[in-house]
Structure 1
Amino acid sequence: MSEHKQDYVAEKEFVDEKFDVERSSVILEEEENSPIPEVAAIVSNQDDPSLPVMTFRFWVMGVIFSLFLSFINQFFWFRTNPMTIGTLVIQLVAYPIGVFMAKVLPAGRLNPGPFNIKEHVLIALTANCAGGTAYAVDIIVIQRVFYKQDFGFLANLLLILTTQMLGYGMAGVLRRYLVYPAAMIWPSNLVQVALFNTLHKDEDLAPGQWTRYKFFLVAILGMFLYAWIPGVLFPALTAFAWICWIKPTNLVLSQITGAGGLGIGVISFDWNTITAFLSSPLITPWWAQVNIAVGFALLTWVLVPICYYTNVWNAKHFPIFSAGLFLENGNTYQTLSILTPDKVLDEAKYEAYGPLRLSVFFALTYGIGFAGLASMVTHTWLYHRHKLVAQWKQSREHSEDIHHKLMQAYPEVPDWWYASLFVIMTVVAVITCEVWDYKLPWWGVLLAVFLSAFFCLPIGLIQAVTNQQPGLNIITEYVIGYILPGRPIANVTFKTLGYISMAQGLMFVGDLKLGHYMKVPPRAMFWAQLLGTVIASVINLVTANWLLATQKGICTPENPNFECKSAATFYSASVIWGVISPNKMFGPSSIYNSINYFFIIGFLLPIPFYFLRKRFPNTWVEFIHIPVLLAATGMMPPASPFMYPNWVALGFVFQFYVRRYHPNWHLRFTYVLSAAFDSGTAFMVLLSFFIFDFRDKAMVPWWGTDVSCPLQSKSYIPATPLPKEA
């Protein structure tokens, strides 16, 4: 067996039984196919280059769905329990509309034949680029809400555009390593490919058996009706802390079992709450959910209680779980009191006011983030170094599988298209930061872009195999915090340029891989991605400005429906890394200095598991993935601990039990059910907003609307004020 084939066999051993695919849904029509079984079972090995793609139907639906998704997802981002409408929903909704348009429009240029699968894919790709909320919106929110600063619409729009589009240049380079090679399977794309194939072929149904589309419509209606119960009528069901209610006056019981504490025993009956900060448990592979569950439990239910109740870092002065900022005596840290008028740290005021303190949970999550980033480097080297060399050779020889050969029928996007866009966006970013005084100099912008480009390939390798993406947010804010201390807006701008450029680049790469599987012309994909990104940038900003102007107390506890937990955590990070700086927070003189040892722990941790896997092949040891395990708590805060057990419970039902014991039902309906749950819940939340929040009305109060355990809002005892020398 050749070395190239051995690489694919090794990859097959790693991914086997980790991703859901319709293994028998495609009857192969040629002998040549992908060497990856999952891909061979799902992706067609034939193509029809004559199918029209950028049709009138594409432009109409691509624009409308991009407008819809960018508004809806940005709107929900501000909600206390946010949610995201994913591309699966657009896939399902676009199909009957496309078929209808093909029937009613006059034949000709506006209607060039039946609605085809490539049009459908391109519509979904456009909507996907518009579906994510722009990370730079966080900068705008904390400037206006917390720092009382506003640079205006033009500055905000340019910042969003540059941070959202810088990744295109990286995607252009990474095509050779993360799109063309067959081993880079991008498992989340297989779900979409399966759904596209399902919608565009006749289903072989038994008598009385439902189609997937009928199932989708019924499930949407069912979830829409059900979601009113925990969402409006009986909010206590969103976080049913039944153990805490046994003795709500008990401080320790409230800390351990309260929904605002560690959440042990809390049951949630609300799909929106369970999936608010996590991906759908009906889609995430079970092996990955187990890694996430183990990482969550070790941190939240083992390490945090040990540190808190042994009073590490004076932990008992603060809540056991909080993303808040505190003084040494447990009172809230008033950041504006230590800043100059132009929002830079005033050292004299800081010395007089006192150091910043964190909850033990918040401090430990930074340590786990350090470990996760270091483990990613080690894991990539141990598991993927040979593949990197092989792919480098393959990229020069262009010797790939059947799908790459079929794509040769279409003109590739010239490298200079990507390069030009990359250079233009970099220049605009520099001009934006200089003209509007973000306190980030031109070389800071270039350094952020360099960090993003450096980490893009190794992180892309992990995501292409595991469907998990470790973030760069911690390392970027750490680096610039040392270089430019005391500048919060410069810190978050650098973080956004460094982190989101990479994340956007990999999103574009993932979409390019989907187009690669579906044989969509590369140039059509390029323009479709640009279209969705530009639409989203404008609509995200307009939606944010509307909510900031109309919602009183938005992004604060004064508005319980729009607390913007992500923005609140983003603000806390801006203070920790930007105002105070990592040297003061984690340097040699800080009580949190030991957090730096997590870098070493994370770097070493994958090594023993790598050798265990070699010692015990084809066992459960193969499924241990340290970067995924350490990234488990990356969304806490703002995610609450009680969300994780409920998330894993649903994952066990569908990704383990149903998949194992009812495989046919699982392959037909699980992913459709996930999309229906998202859609039904979203429609309910949006309608309830205009019925209640928009009209400043509320549900009639009764005991079911009291969702809190009495102590969980302040489940700690503040210390007495400490003397200055302490």
Structure 2
Amino acid sequence: MSSEQKFEYDDEKLDIERSSVALEEEENSPIPEVAAIVSNKDDPSIPVMTFRYYVMAVIFSVILSFFNQFFWFRTHPMTISTLVIQLLSYPFGKFLAAVLPSGRLNPGPFSIKEHVLVALTANCAGGTAYAVDITVIQKIWYKEDFGFLANFLLILCTQMLGYGMAGVLRRYLVYPAAMIWPANLVQVALFNTLHKDEDLQPGQWSRFKFFLVATACMFVYQWIPGFLFPVLSSIAWICWIKPDNLVLSQLTGAGGLGIGAISLDWNNIVAFLGSPLIVPWWAQVNIGLGFFLIAWVLVPIAYYTNLWEAKSFPILTSDLFQENGNEYDTMAIMTNNILDETKYAAYGSLRISTFFALTYGIGFAGLSSMMTHTWLYHRHKLVAQWKQSRGHTEDIHHKLMQAYPEVPDWWYLSLFVIMTVVAIITCEIWDYKLPWWGVILAVALSAVFSLPVGLIQAITNQQPGLNIITEYVIGYILPGRPIANVTFKTLGYISMAQAMTFTSDLKLGHYMKVPPRAMFWAQLLGTVIAGLVNLLTANWLLRTRENICTPENTTFSCPSARTFYSASVIWGVIAPDRMFGPTSMYNAINYFFLIGFLLPIPFYYLKKAYPNSFLEFVHIPVLLASTGMMPPAQAYHYTNWLAVGFLFQFFARRYHPEWHLRFTYVMSAAFDSGVAFMVLLSFFIFTMRGKDMVEWWGTRYDLCPLEGKSYYPPTPEPSPIA
């Protein structure tokens, strides 16, 4: 193992005896976490794409895509993890194996590979389709509707375009042992927990017993912050000392910078950053350092020195404002959903919060630093892997996968070409205002950045986004067109993100020895089902929920859609030339591109000059991408995520390594499952019947009255344009 790999996977310098994790005395993965979790055995005769698989894949994909799309609209969104489907599909698969007649429909016991394929299909259906946001903002804010067919085709091509790129990426992000994809280890741990017997010492708990107990405990506990006592979700105790103090609210309130704010709600902790139990500690250190420098140092300095008239607006918000602090009425400056220069000149320029502006700047820096970092740290490995990609075997898992025929490259190429053509046809037939060359440019941007993004995600479990650079580019090329802007962004950004999803799933199949061709078709099935169900669910909610995606609807205020809409105005309507150009007050944001490009260079050479120092832990792209989810994420989401991560990924891993390797990933799956069961049950019992918890002080979210406002709103003034 190279020194760089040793840093990435053995940064805690654990000296773990093989016997402590019951490993075989045979060839295994060079990565301790992988060796402890992933089996180095395989039986190619195990059936995979059975009738049982198709039944469960369709049912669970529909269920998962419906609920995740439903919860996406909520003021406090939640994502039901694929881990829940893994749990539910296990007894269901056992049941089908017991009741179906023996033969082709029922070829023996329910196998672990069938189980993996069901989870892979559901995983493709687990995330909400990003293109649904376009449908939402068109209907809610831009008052137009292209119809179901146009919306579905756009969802389909944006969700599947990236899959075509995975054919190239697999050689660099799936085959090498160093590309571990940490989130997959949680799923592998659960599969092994359910399907394999453990060699236990007297008195030692099995992983399955631990999973059941932890799930039950979290299910019971989550009713407290999730329903009975929701104030525990964000305890801004410092702010409560003097709740009418504006500065104290801004610095310590849960709606402000969240200094000292505590969350006892697992759903809140994992809502935006995922589980802290699975992210390597060195990556969490970078995220924490980036968060501290940006949110608690840079932002307060900028705000209290009144940079860009910061005090006229909230300290942390994605809302849009006029110069006087009033809400910005975008429709007052548009004609046929295109910017009207005359109306804009009369109405005035757009203002955003200083934090929101700095978030874009940090995003610029993170993007350029990713390219520099990839070149400095990974160029030699990439060249070597390119030369070895045709016949080299990296580890025992890659060797075992040679028993199965690989997916032909032309399958991936055909999918890529077909989806690109569908995207062009969709944008040309309907009035998305994005020409054919815009589609090709978006796809090209996605292809260029997919490999460096994949290298970061495969190691750190963090994915830098392309949303900022895509909207920046098309904003300059086609200014004043918000729908063209968000369509271009979705094609460029989500194609890359879906390529990462497909590649991550390929790695999971790689670990579990599932035939690659079965994985290919399973992922396409899950994606088509999800796109259809996501769109149907969104349309149903938009029709049936009054004032949806507005502050008046406290249950379905759509925080992600509101941020998406704000971005469409900033980059599409106003456009980057006006917003960040030479004449704009936010012009300095552009220098972050240069800062990010240069920043990894000194750290790279300092690391070479001073090996085995704290510089080994510095990862500039991860550090800069740390606040990429803010807003809609709040500062206290980060602090509590980091606190839990320290407890498990540092303390438990260093001082209780055997327990950590056996149970940490299982605990992550159990906690997610317990929360999901609680939310599902409360939905059926209370939400569907329009019931809620009896109001008392513990159900209030405004114990600190300025929380979430952080400023005194100005007296409304009439708009200059009727």
Shorter chain as denominator, the TM-score bin is over 0.9
Aligned-residue offset at 1:496:
0.3
Partners of 2:31 and 2:666 lie apart in 1 by 25
- Select the residue among 522, 533, 536 that pairs with 1:528: 522
Other-structure match for 2:40: 45
Aligned-residue offset at 1:37:
4.8
Aligned-residue offset at 1:590:
0.1
Aligned-residue offset at 1:561:
1.8
Question: Where do residues 18-29 of structure 1 align in structure 2 (5 Å cutoff)?
Answer: 25=21, 27-28=23-24
Partners of 1:269 and 1:313 lie apart in 2 by 36
- RMSD value over aligned CA atoms? 2.3
- Select the residue among 621, 629, 634 that pairs with 1:635: 629
Contact kept, 8 Å, 2:182 with 2:278, in 1: the verdict is no
Question: Where do residues 499-578 of structure 1 align in structure 2 (5 Å cutoff)?
Answer: 499-578=493-572
Deviations 1:134-186 (A, max 9, x none): 11111111111111111111111111111000011101122222222333332
Partners of 1:281 and 1:79 lie apart in 2 by 23
- Secondary structure at the counterpart of residue 626 of structure 2: helix
Aligned-residue offset at 1:25:
4.1
Report the residue type matching 1:138 in the other structure: D
Other-structure match for 2:254: 259
Report the residue type matching 1:551 in the other structure: R
- Select the residue among 189, 192, 201 that pairs with 1:197: 192
- Select the residue among 475, 482, 486 that pairs with 1:492: 486
Length-normalised TM-score, structure 2: 0.95
Aligned-residue offset at 1:18:
7.0
- Select the residue among 561, 568, 574 that pairs with 1:580: 574
Other-structure match for 1:391: 385
Other-structure match for 2:68: 73
Other-structure match for 2:615: 621
Question: Where do residues 158-169 of structure 1 align in structure 2 (5 Å cutoff)?
Answer: 158-169=153-164
Other-structure match for 2:464: 470
Partners of 1:336 and 1:687 lie apart in 2 by 41
Other-structure match for 1:380: 374
Other-structure match for 2:119: 124
- Structure 1 window deviating more from structure 2 (716-725 vs 600-609): it is 716-725
Partners of 2:556 and 2:228 lie apart in 1 by 18
- Select the residue among 113, 124, 135 that pairs with 2:108: 113
- Select the residue among 173, 178, 192 that pairs with 2:173: 178
Report the residue type matching 1:435 in the other structure: I
Report the residue type matching 1:229 in the other structure: I
- Select the residue among 310, 318, 321 that pairs with 2:313: 318
- Select the residue among 366, 369, 376 that pairs with 2:363: 369
Q: 1:140 to 1:721 in 2, by over 3 A?
A: closer
Q: 1:468 to 1:157 in 2, by over 3 A?
A: same
Partners of 2:559 and 2:139 lie apart in 1 by 16
Partners of 1:461 and 1:638 lie apart in 2 by 26
Deviations 1:329-383 (A, max 9, x none): 111101111111x211111101100000010110100010001001101110110
Identity over aligned pairs, percent = 77
Contact kept, 8 Å, 1:329 with 1:718, in 2: the verdict is no
Other-structure match for 1:301: 296
Other-structure match for 1:3: none
- Secondary structure at the counterpart of residue 166 of structure 1: helix
Report the residue type matching 2:352 in the other structure: L
Contact kept, 8 Å, 1:12 with 1:37, in 2: the verdict is no
Aligned-residue offset at 1:422:
1.2
Other-structure match for 2:440: 446
Partners of 1:378 and 1:675 lie apart in 2 by 35
Contact kept, 8 Å, 2:189 with 2:666, in 1: the verdict is no
Partners of 1:195 and 1:682 lie apart in 2 by 16
Aligned-residue offset at 1:33:
4.4
Unaligned runs of 5+ in 2: none
- Secondary structure at the counterpart of residue 581 of structure 1: helix
Deviations 1:32-81 (A, max 9, x none): 54454544444333322211111122112222221121112111111112
Q: 1:158 to 1:188 in 2, by over 3 A?
A: same
Other-structure match for 1:686: 680
- Select the residue among 407, 415, 426 that pairs with 2:409: 415
Aligned-residue offset at 1:534:
0.8
Q: 1:596 to 1:540 in 2, by over 3 A?
A: same
Aligned-residue offset at 1:536:
0.7
Partners of 2:462 and 2:240 lie apart in 1 by 37
Report the residue type matching 1:453 in the other structure: A
Report the residue type matching 1:72 in the other structure: F
Report the residue type matching 1:313 in the other structure: W
Q: 1:554 to 1:687 in 2, by over 3 A?
A: farther
Question: Where do residues 352-363 of structure 1 align in structure 2 (5 Å cutoff)?
Answer: 352-363=346-357
Q: 1:514 to 1:457 in 2, by over 3 A?
A: same
Query: 2:642 aligned with 1:648, yes or no?
Result: yes
- Structure 1 window deviating more from structure 2 (566-575 vs 99-108): it is 99-108
Partners of 1:43 and 1:713 lie apart in 2 by 45
Deviations 1:87-111 (A, max 9, x none): 2232333333333433443322122
Contact kept, 8 Å, 1:22 with 1:42, in 2: the verdict is no
Q: 1:416 to 1:466 in 2, by over 3 A?
A: same
Other-structure match for 1:424: 418
Aligned-residue offset at 1:522:
1.2
Partners of 2:417 and 2:509 lie apart in 1 by 25
Other-structure match for 1:16: 10
| Structure 1 residue runs of 4 or more that deviate by more than 6 Å after TM superposition | 18-23, 719-725
Contact kept, 8 Å, 2:36 with 2:661, in 1: the verdict is no
- The number of equivalent residue pairs is 717
Other-structure match for 1:599: 593
Contact kept, 8 Å, 2:405 with 2:517, in 1: the verdict is yes
- Select the residue among 182, 188, 191 that pairs with 1:187: 182
Report the residue type matching 2:284 in the other structure: Q
Deviations 1:613-639 (A, max 9, x none): 212222332121111111110100000
Contact kept, 8 Å, 1:316 with 1:717, in 2: the verdict is no
Other-structure match for 1:338: 333
Contact kept, 8 Å, 2:12 with 2:654, in 1: the verdict is no
Report the residue type matching 2:222 in the other structure: A
- Structure 1 window deviating more from structure 2 (394-403 vs 675-684): it is 394-403
Partners of 2:186 and 2:263 lie apart in 1 by 27
Query: 2:694 aligned with 1:700, yes or no?
Result: yes
Aligned-residue offset at 1:396:
3.9
- Secondary structure at the counterpart of residue 406 of structure 1: helix
